[in-house]
């Protein structure tokens, strides 16, 4: 097992949370995290000084870790392939705090097995994201698509839609973008697809771009470099309420949240086709 160097280094000094605490968290949650990272390409966000320093992204895998070579236009990138606790702890040891994952797996890198919507509120209030999330769920329900929500680990909400592999990234992105466009047009006072922050006002940004080839999203149970060390918590839809405070899911409280009940236990058994939903979306 990977040894953690400088284990007592405080990554969250205000909260007394160390590098070893981060490693202990990922060790404890790995049985729940593993299904979302196994055989999936990962990008590191390395923050070697935790909250006190700068972070940088690293796509190229360090030597000694399992890899998958992906061709990006004019260059090849050797990505880390997740799936083992040893790999996860090696990333932690290199200062990587979040877990950024692809929407596809290494054996079929151009066909995602989920679609994701990233809801980013303009305010610091999660309540706006929760209300927007329920509008997205309603639309997905209308299209016959089962969805699963989670906190982003920050102020937003992520909505995952498990898919049967078939459509490529371009097709999934086109579907997600069209749905976001329709929702923003139907709710112009609360939702937007405006990429420029200064033009969003107080509306929630519906981000479909996480569905592009090579794009990533933080995994369920991913820790974020935010005050109190919050992590991305899978939720049941009944728990998505404006009163929910996502910062309560953090490295100081995680043990009481990791119960036997898993609101995403049926996630991979719920893979579904986009074909009928795409036809329905065109007719709206």
Q: pTM for the full model?
A: 0.96
Q: What was the pLDDT predicted at 283?
A: 73
| CA 66 from centroid of its chain's CA atoms | 21
Domains identified in the chain and CATH numbers: 10-109+214-246 (3.90.920.10), 114-212+269-283 (3.90.920.10)
pLDDT along the chain (284 residues), means of 10: 92 98 98 98 98 97 97 95 98 98 98 98 92 98 98 97 97 98 97 94 97 98 97 97 96 90 96 94 78
Element (H, E) at 30: helix 19-37
Whole-Å CA distances, 7 to 41, 94, 155, 257, 276: 26, 12, 29, 24, 51
Q: What was the pLDDT predicted at 259?
A: 79
Q: What was the pLDDT predicted at 123?
A: 86
Q: What was the pLDDT predicted at 282?
A: 81
Q: What was the pLDDT predicted at 119?
A: 98
3-state SS of the chain is CCCCCCCCCEEECCCCEEHHHHHHHHHHHHHHHHHHHCCEEEEEEECCCHHHCCCEEECCCCCCCCEEEEEECCEEEEEEECCCHHHHHHHHHCCECCCEEEEEEHHHCCCCCEEEEEEEECCCCHHHHHHHHHHHHHHHHHCCCCCEEEECCCCCEEEEEEECCCCCHHHHHHHHHHHHHHHHHHCCCCEECCCCHHHCCCCEEEECHHHCCCCCEECCCCECCCCCCEECCECCHHHCCCCCCHHHCECCCHHHHCCCCCCCCCCHHHCECCHHHHHHHHHC
Helices (H) and strands (E) in the chain, counts: 6, 13
Q: What was the pLDDT predicted at 109?
A: 97
Q: What was the pLDDT predicted at 34?
A: 98
d(CA 220, CA 229): 14
Helices (H), 38-97: 85-93
């Amino acid at each position: 097992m990977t040894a953690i160097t400088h284990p007592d280094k405080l990554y969250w000094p205000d909260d007394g949370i160390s590098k070893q605490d981060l490693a202990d968290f990922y060790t404890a949650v790995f049985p729940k995290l593993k299904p979302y990272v196994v055989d999936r390409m990962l990008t590191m966000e390395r923050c070697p000084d935790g909250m006190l320093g700068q972070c940088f992204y690293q796509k190229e895998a360090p030597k000694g870790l399992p890899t998958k070579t992906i061709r990006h236009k004019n260059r090849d990138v050797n990505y880390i392939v997740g799936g083992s606790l040893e790999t996860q702890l090696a990333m932690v040891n290199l200062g990587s705090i979040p877990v950024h994952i692809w929407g596809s797996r290494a054996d079929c890198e151009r066909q995602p097995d989920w679609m994701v919507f990233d809801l980013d509120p303009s305010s610091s209030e999660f309540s706006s994201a929760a209300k927007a999330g329920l509008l997205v769920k309603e639309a997905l329900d209308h299209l016959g698509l089962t969805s699963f929500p989670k906190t982003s680990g920050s102020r937003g909400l992520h909505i995952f839609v498990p898919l049967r592999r078939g459509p490529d990234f371009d097709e999934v992105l086109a579907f997600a973008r069209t749905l976001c466009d329709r929702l923003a047009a139907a709710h112009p006072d609360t939702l937007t697809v405006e990429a420029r922050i200064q033009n969003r006002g107080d509306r929630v940004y519906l981000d479909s771009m996480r569905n592009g080839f090579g794009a990533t999203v933080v995994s369920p149970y991913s820790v974020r470099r935010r005050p109190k060390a919050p992590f991305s918590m899978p939720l049941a839809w009944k728990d998505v309420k404006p009163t929910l405070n996502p910062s309560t899911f953090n490295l100081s409280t995680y043990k009481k949240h990791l119960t036997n009940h898993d609101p995403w236990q049926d996630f991979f058994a719920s893979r579904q086709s986009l074909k009928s939903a795409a036809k329905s979306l065109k007719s709206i």
